[in-house]
Amino acid sequence: MARIELKNLRKEWGGAIAVAGIDLAIEDGAFVAVLGPSGCGKSTTLMMLAGIYRPTSGDITFDGARVNDVEARGRNVGIVFQSYALYPNMTVLENVMFPLRFKTIERTEAERRSREVATLVRIDGLLDRRPGQLSGGQQQRVALARALVKRPHLLLLDEPLSNLDAGLRLTMRTEIRRIQRELGVTTILVTHDQVEATTMADRVVVMNSGRVEQQGTAEDLYERPATLFVASFVGSPPINLFDGHAAGGMLSVNEARLPLADPVQGAVVLGLRPESLRVNGSGDSGRTISRISAVEPMGREVLYTADSAFGVIRFLEAGAEPRHRESDDVPLGFPPASALLFDKDSGRRLDARVAA
C-alpha cells in the first residue's frame, strides 16, 4: 500500500520528449485511470513508476520517500503489460509463481499463494498450460495474477483490456474493479478508452503530449473540462466546436450572435455537447432554425447532423425512432449553462457563460 507522488517528472529519449513534466498525487488505495491519445507518454510514465525507465528529471515518491534510484526489483510493483509479457517457456503456474522465486518463501507456500491468486482471477483450471495455449482474456488474467501474487504496493495496468472483445472487456472491467476493491491496492490503469477510464476509476487523469491536461472525476472532465483538448477528447460523439469572436458583450459565431453573461473580449471557441442540444427546448439560448442533413440511428438514441447558423452541428436525441427526417428544418437550441467557452489562444476554458 502506498501513496504515490510524481513531481515534475520528465523523460526524454535522446532529445525527443516523451513525458514533459508531470505532477500527480495518488492516495493510498485509490484507483486512478490515465487517459490519453496514442503516444502521449502513458506507458513511459508507468515504466518510470515500475523502475524500468529512469526519469530524466523530477521525482517519484512512495509514501513520501524518493524511489528514483530504487531498481524495479526493489519497488514491489505489480504490472500488467500492454502485451501481457508472459514467459513463453513456463506454464501458467510457473508464470504466476515466478515473482515469488525471488522472495524468501518456501516452495509449498509459494505454490499455495499462487493457486490462491489464480482462483481469485479465475484461471485455476489452466495452471498446466503454456501461454501459447491461452486465449487473450486468459493470458490477461494470468498476467494479472502474476502482478498480484507478490502483494504489490502499487498495481499498474497498461491497457490491459485493449486486446479483448467487447463482451469479455465488460466482464474484465468489473472483475478488475472487484479485485482492486477487495485488495485495496493502489492502482493505476492506462487506457485510451474513455468509457473504461470513467467506469472503472475513482479519478481520471487526462494526458496529452507528455503533460497532464486535467485530473478529476468523470463528471469534472465532462462538465468542467479545463482545456479544449479535454473537452474534445472526453465525450462521445465528440463536442461541437466553433470559432467565434467576443466583443461588447456579444459572441459572434459565423452568422449567429449570442449574448454573454460575463465580459469577454477576443477570439473564443464555443463548445456545444451533442447531448445538450435540444429541439424546441424551453428557455434555450441561441435558438436557430437548422436544416437536418443526416440521420444516424444509434440504438437507444439518434445522432443528427444539421446545418445551423453556427455551422455544421451534430446533436443527439433519446429514443430509438428518429423524430426528424433529412431536410427537415428544426428550431435547435441549448440550455445556456451547458455552453462551454474557451480562450482560443491558450485553449483554456473561460469562466464566462452564455446569457439566457
Partner 1 sequence: MAADNLVAARGAQARPDWPALARRAWRRRFTGQSMLLAFLVVVSAPIVLPYFWMVVIAFTARTGGVASDVLWTACAVIAPAVLIYSIVHMSVPAPRLRLAAGLVLLAIAGALLAALIGERLHLDNFRFLTRANFVEEIRSKATSGAQFPSVWNAFFNSLLLAVSQTVIILTVSSLAGYYISRFAFRGRSVFLQGMLVLHAFPAMTLIIPIFLMLHWIGLLDTIVGVMLVLAAIELPFYVFVMKGFFDGVPWDIEMSAMTDGATRRQAFRLVVLPQVRFGLIAVAVFAFIRAWEEYIFVRTFLIENKNWVMSLYLFWVSDDVMGVDYGIVAAVAVFYVLPSFLLYVFCQKYLTQMTIGGIKG
Partner 2 sequence: MPVFARAQLRRQRINFALFLGPALVLLFLFFVAPIVIDLFLAFTDMGRTLAVGKFTLENFERMFTRDTRLLGALGVTFIFVLATLGIFNVTFALLLALVTTAVPPRLGAFFRAVWLLPRMSPSVVYALLWLWVADPNERGLLNQIVMHVFDMPPIDLRNNHPLLVIILANGFIGASLGMLIFTSAIRSIPEHLFHAARVDGAGSLAIVRYITLPALRWPISYMTIHQTLSLLVSFEYILLITGGGPFYDTTVFSLYAYRRAFESGEYAYGAALSLILVVIGVLAALALWRLMDMKQLLQQPRIEVH
Contacts with ligand ATP, residue ranges (CB under 6 A): 13, 16, 18, 36, 38-44, 192
Interaction between residue 146 and partner 2 (CB under 8 A): yes
Check residue 113 for interaction with partner 2 (CB under 8 A): no
Q: How far is the CB of 27 from partner 1 (least distance, A)?
A: 17
Q: What single letter denotes the amino acid at residue 342? A: F
Q: How far apart are CA 197 and CA 317, in angstroms?
A: 25
**Least CB distance to partner 1 at residue 70 (A):** 5
* 52: nearest Cα among 11, 103, 8: 11
HSE-CB at 17 with a 13 A cutoff on CA atoms is 11
User: Applying CB under 5 A, which residues contact Mg ion?
Assistant: 43
Q: Residue for cell digits 468542467?
A: 224
- If you write DSSP's letter for every residue of 198-240 in order, what string do you get? HHH-SEEEEEETTEEEEEE-HHHHHHS-SBHHHHHHSSSSPPE
| Chain positions contacting partner 1, by CB under 8 A | 1, 62-63, 65-71, 74-76, 116-117, 119-120, 148, 151, 179, 182-184
Residue 274 interacts, among partner 1, Mg ion, ligand ATP, none and using kind-specific CB cut-offs from 5 to 8 Å, with: none
What number of chain residues touch partner 2 (CB under 8 A)? 27
What does 43 bind: partner 2, partner 1, Mg ion, none (CB cut-off 5 to 8 Å by kind)?
Mg ion
Q: CB-based contacts of 189: which residues, under 8 Å, 6+ apart?
A: 31, 32, 33, 34, 157, 160, 176, 196, 197, 200, 201
If the CB atoms of residues 38 and 327 are measured against ligand ATP, the closer one turns out to be: 38
Nearer to partner 1, 62 or 334 (CB): 62
Q: Between residues 36 and 137, which has the closer beta carbon with respect to ligand ATP?
A: 36
Contact call for residue 54 and partner 2 (CB under 8 A): no
Judged by beta carbon distances under 5 to 8 A according to partner kind, the member of Mg ion, ligand ATP, partner 2, none in contact with residue 18 is: ligand ATP
Nearest in space to 231 (alpha carbons), one of 213, 209, 258, 247: 213
State the minimum distance, in angstroms, from the CB of residue 161 to ligand ATP: 13
φ, ψ for residue 108 (rounded to 5)? -65, -40
